[in-house]
Structures are given as C-alpha cells and as structure tokens.
Copies of this chain bind each other. A is one copy, B any other.
Amino acid sequence: MRRQSKQLPDSDRLLAPSGAVENLLRDAGLRPTFQRVALGAILFANGDRHVTAEMLYHEAVQTKVPVSLATIYNTLHKFAEAGLLRQVMVAGSTAHFDTNTSNHSHFFVAKANLLLDIPGPEVVLDKMPRAPDGYEFVRADIVVRLKRKDG
C-alpha cells in the first residue's frame, strides 16, 4: 500500500490528518502554523518515533515542507515544552526527541546514533535514591548502551 511519494505532501503518505494535528497543537497552547502542522503530521502519524533535528529536517525537505533548520529546532523545543515530545539526552552532541512521552527507558547504539524504546516496564529501578539535601528529584534516566554483535 505504500507507493512512492509523488509531491503530495499531505496525502499519499502516512501522515496524521492535519485537522487532528491542528487540534493537538491548539490544545497544547501552540499556534498551528503551517510548518508546525506539517512537522506534527510527520511526527505523530504512526506509533512512537525518535528524531534528531537533522533527521526531521531532512524528512521535511523530502516531504516538500518548506521549513528552515532554525524552525525545526524551535518547533522541537516548543513541542517538548508543551509535553508533546520528550527530549532524550542520551549522549554526545545530538539531541533526540521521542514522541513517546511516557516514562520509559532506552536502548542506544552509539555508532549508529540509533535510539530505541525499551518495550514494556522491563527495566525498572530497584530503589529510588533519596536526593541530597537541598535538591529534589526530577527524573531518572536509564540508557542501556548496545553495540552490534560483530562490530
């Protein structure tokens, strides 16, 4: 069923319906501009995904969405602020964003810059440590680093 894209940005591809995305954004208190709706359609179409700014930018360009890299960064941060995305700080320079905003852990393959959700509640902390005096708990991040079996 998945034919090649034929310059039809809003059809012929697995994108979320623009109307739905518009509401999503409005409900999150964000102005549904053209680029935000288009990026939202890319991001929230199918199940959960992980993107970097660069990845989303390329995807947008391929989908003929007129958008600049600066706006990609802007949008990713706004979405994250609004709770539509979760920023995953896994390592190194590049920031990853996850459309799965629930509390879960990640696999990360450094060489491939590949980020994956760990399915289910398989990884859990045994005990929560108590925060030192003067500080309060924000969140526990668990990253299980992997490498290819050969490499």
* Interface flags, A104-125, vs B, CB<8A=1, else 0: 0101010000001010001111
Residue of B nearest to A105 (CB): B129
Partner of A135, one of B92, B105, B134, B148: B148
Assess the B132–A107 pair: CB atoms within 8 A: yes
What size tier do the contact residues of chain A reach?
A: 35 or more
Question: Which residues, 83 to 99 on A, are CB-close (under 8 Å) to B?
Answer: 89-93
A residues with a Cβ closer than 8 A to B are 89-93, 105, 107, 109, 116, 118, 122-129, 131-132, 134-149
Contact flag A149-B135 (CB < 8 Å), given A91-B89, A143-B140: yes
| A146 partner residues in chain B, CB cutoff 8 A | 131-132, 135-138
Contact flag A135-B122 (CB < 8 Å), given A140-B145, A143-B141, A144-B140: no
| A144 partner residues in chain B, CB cutoff 8 A | 128-129, 131, 137, 139-141
Assess the A123–B125 pair: CB atoms within 8 A: yes
CA distance A141 to B143 in the complex (A): 5
Assess the A123–B134 pair: CB atoms within 8 A: no
